[in-house]
Amino acid sequence: MAYKTVVEDGIDVLVCGAGLGGTGAAFEARYWGKDKKIVVAEKANIDRSGAVAQGLYAINCYMGTRFGENNPEDHVRYARIDLMGMVREDLLFDMARHVDSTVHQFEEWGLPLMRNPKTGAYQREGRWQIMIHGESYKPIVAEAAKKSADQVFNRVCITHLLMDEAKENRVAGAVGFNVRTGNYHVFKSKTVVVAAGGASNIFKPRSVGEGAGRVWYAPWSSGSAYGLMIGAGAKMTQMENRIVLARFKDGYGPVGAYFLHLKTYTQNGMGEEYESKWFPALEKMVGKRYLDVEASHLSHRPIPTCLRNHAFINEVNAGRGPIHMVTMEAFQDPHLEEIGWHNFLGMTVGQAVLWAATDVDPKYENPELTTSEPYVMGSHATGCGAWCSGPEDISPPDYFWGYNRMTTVEGLFGAGDAVGGTPHAFSSGSFTEGRLAAKAACKYIDDGKGEGIRVSDEQINRRKEEIYKPMEHYKVYRNEITAGSVNPHYINPRQGLDRLQKLMDEYCGGVTVSYMTNEKLLNIGLKKLKLLEEDLEKIAAENIHELLRAWELKHRHLTSEAVMHHTLFRKETRWPGYYYRGDVMKVDDENWHVLTVSRRDPETGEYTMEKAPLYHLIDDKPEAKAA
């Protein structure tokens, strides 16, 4: 291949992926590393890349400590109950105590935050959410990152991390290719912050054909954060904790502002409230600790998101769909109606397009809701990602190995979706995690931990060959057939993605099986994933754009394998409503009140699974009784 090799040497902090986590890291790194070389590699254009490309209408994580609203420990309690106990409280607390400073900074940079005219405090959508006009959220944080970085490489897709040959298990940079020029890019760096986002499209989406890109999390969220870290042998945690979202049907428009601010509510096809009637049986399955039917209506203690999904799914399966969002009352108020529409235009325009196309005016018709296909991510209401060190002043020894947000690979840090056990960080929390990771990365370098890194030409050349192999493969075999896409020697990236999605859907608990799986199914799924892995060696890319899709698919495949292994390992149904282990339909606190940790051996591809202790650092405050 005639592509040039471009080497960027002597980097101190390399940021892979510049969404909310990556921009936070690049910005903050400059403060702690005045004279350090900070480089960003982003597969799209930093101005509109990542999950926030369209914008957002709310910042979902803001304490408001300054207004006496919440303290960080309150947020830990909330995230803990929502995830049915399974969170890294040290990391959550650490994010929560810094997140307000991030949000105040955003406001100073010009992000329009709405204010409550009566109190002067930010307009709350819910206890943790504040409302923004966030169409330009991403361009604003991108500007901050661009001001701090020495160089931003747009359209460079990172495919692998480089490993140090002088010291085992230490990172030494990353490699990838430019999607425009095709050039091979080598970044030699003392530290790497991986912030390459979560994984959509690993389960078969409900949308089909032309609409297959209409998924809730962005179709370009290719699980690269996981793929890169798993490939380098970093330990991962909570990968079984995939999320299913209740959203407006087909468009996947957000429901947060509708429930919380517009005070809309749901009902079944008969116009009845249905949620509470599924809870008594569910209480037996998950235990009173997580769902106390009698007490919960008296207290403010929230019901875990997954359990509300459980009620939704069961009601639909019982034949009492569709579930409707009752908007007709709220939308009679013109101000609330406007907010309802702005909410979509700010972050999910496709929903507005859909209602315009189907003449659904929520003022006169209650729209349908649905439960989505599952997603794998670490920053929304779920906590998949790398097993990372916590901060020095909070973390117990099991959770602490020196540098905040450092993975089990030395010099390799994570932020946002990349970090495991830290749900409910959302956009502001992801940016904050990036800041924390950047400070720690600079400290790691100042402590001399990144000295003497060695990367051989052999490693660089081997990766180069590997990266362009799909294009070589295409060239060699395309002329064996007349035309078309059916070839006995290869599959193309779309065909591979379809296979992955079908397999994950059927064996790992996707939509078509009502989120149900069991040990037998998972074992078959793992076998099929191995076969797919073999075929991915023979994937063919017709051009550079397809090469991008090929590598996204490979990252999605690695992510899926981890999800499958984790789901098999956790022998209980911890989060009914996200997935069900049909062979163990109960929460089992006696054996599974633990975090799960996996490692894939980079040489052999073998997985090892272990249980890690779950420390509850924050006590359980008695919940305030409702007035």
Please identify every residue annotated as catalytic: 301
Residue of 174, 254, 200 whose CA lies nearest to 13: 174
- Contact present, 491 and 499 (Cβ < 8 Å): yes
- What whole-number distance in Å separates Cα of residue 110 and Cα of residue 133? 11
The CB-of-610 to ligand FAD minimum distance in angstroms stands at: 25
CA angle 561, 565, 566 (to 5 degrees): 115
Per the listing, tokens 């080497």 go with 7
Distances (CA, A) of 117 to 123, 257, 461: 8, 18, 61
Task: Tell me if 315 contacts other proteins by CB under 8 A.
Answer: no
Between 195 and 541, whose beta carbon lies closer to ligand FAD? 195
Among the candidate windows 91-99, 301-309, 312-320, 426-434, which touches ligand FAD by CB under 6 A?
426-434
Residue 111: CA count within 13 A, CB half-sphere: 28
Task: Tell me if 328 contacts other proteins by CB under 8 A.
Answer: no
Q: Where are the alpha helices (DSSP H) in 10-88?
A: 20-32, 72-82
- Interaction mask 341-360, other proteins, x per CB under 8 A: xx--xx--xx-xxxxxxxx-
The CB-of-499 to ligand FAD minimum distance in angstroms stands at: 21
- What whole-number distance in Å separates Cα of residue 579 and Cα of residue 559? 17
According to CB under 6 A, which one of 13, 14, 22, 72 is a site residue for ligand FAD?
Answer: 22
Residue of 198, 214, 238, 182 whose CA lies nearest to 19: 198
Between 318 and 356, whose beta carbon lies closer to other proteins? 356
According to CB under 8 A, which one of 37, 242, 439, 499 is a site residue for other proteins?
Answer: 439
Task: Tell me if 157 contacts ligand FAD by CB under 6 A.
Answer: yes
- Within residues 165-194, the interface with other proteins by CB under 8 A covers 179
* Burial of residue 222, with CB atoms counted within 10 A of its CB: 0-12 exposed, 13-18 middle, 19 or more buried: buried
Residue 224's binding partner out of other proteins, ligand FAD, none, with CB under 5 to 8 Å set by partner kind:
ligand FAD
Residue 16's binding partner out of ligand FAD, other proteins, none, with CB under 5 to 8 Å set by partner kind:
ligand FAD
- What whole-number distance in Å separates Cα of residue 91 and Cα of residue 75? 12
Task: Tell me if 391 contacts ligand FAD by CB under 6 A.
Answer: no
Residue 428's binding partner out of ligand FAD, other proteins, none, with CB under 5 to 8 Å set by partner kind:
ligand FAD
Report residue 168 as tokens.
């085992």
Determine the distance from the C-alpha atom of residue 33 to the mean position of all C-alpha atoms in its chain, rounded to a whole number. 28
Residue 222's binding partner out of other proteins, ligand FAD, none, with CB under 5 to 8 Å set by partner kind:
ligand FAD
Look up residue 46 and give its DSSP letter: G
According to CB under 6 A, which one of 11, 30, 40, 50 is a site residue for ligand FAD?
Answer: 50
The CB-of-311 to other proteins minimum distance in angstroms stands at: 25
Among the candidate windows 42-50, 280-288, 389-397, 566-574, which touches ligand FAD by CB under 6 A?
42-50
Task: Tell me if 209 contacts other proteins by CB under 8 A.
Answer: yes
Among the candidate windows 226-234, 261-269, 338-346, 419-427, which touches other proteins by CB under 8 A?
338-346
Residue of 292, 291, 289 whose CA lies nearest to 309: 291
Amino acid at 336: L
Task: Tell me if 195 contacts ligand FAD by CB under 6 A.
Answer: yes
CA angle 388, 393, 394 (to 5 degrees): 60
Task: Tell me if 218 contacts ligand FAD by CB under 6 A.
Answer: yes
- Contact present, 193 and 415 (Cβ < 8 Å): yes
- What whole-number distance in Å separates Cα of residue 30 and Cα of residue 458? 32
Residue of 221, 271, 313 whose CA lies nearest to 17: 221
Residue whose C-beta lies closest to ligand FAD: 19
- Residue 342 has a CB neighbour count (10 Å cut-off) of 16
Between 50 and 233, whose beta carbon lies closer to ligand FAD? 50
- Interaction mask 289-308, other proteins, x per CB under 8 A: --------------------
- Within residues 123-142, the interface with other proteins by CB under 8 A covers 133, 135-136, 139-140
- Within residues 230-269, the interface with ligand FAD by CB under 6 A covers 254
Among the candidate windows 40-48, 115-123, 420-428, 553-561, which touches other proteins by CB under 8 A?
40-48
Report residue 275 as tokens.
């949620």
Task: Tell me if 39 contacts ligand FAD by CB under 6 A.
Answer: no
- Contact present, 462 and 166 (Cβ < 8 Å): no
The residues that touch ligand FAD, with contacts defined as CB under 6 A, are 16-22, 41-44, 49-52, 56-61, 157-158, 176, 195-197, 216-218, 220-222, 224, 254, 347-348, 379-380, 416-417, 426-428, 430
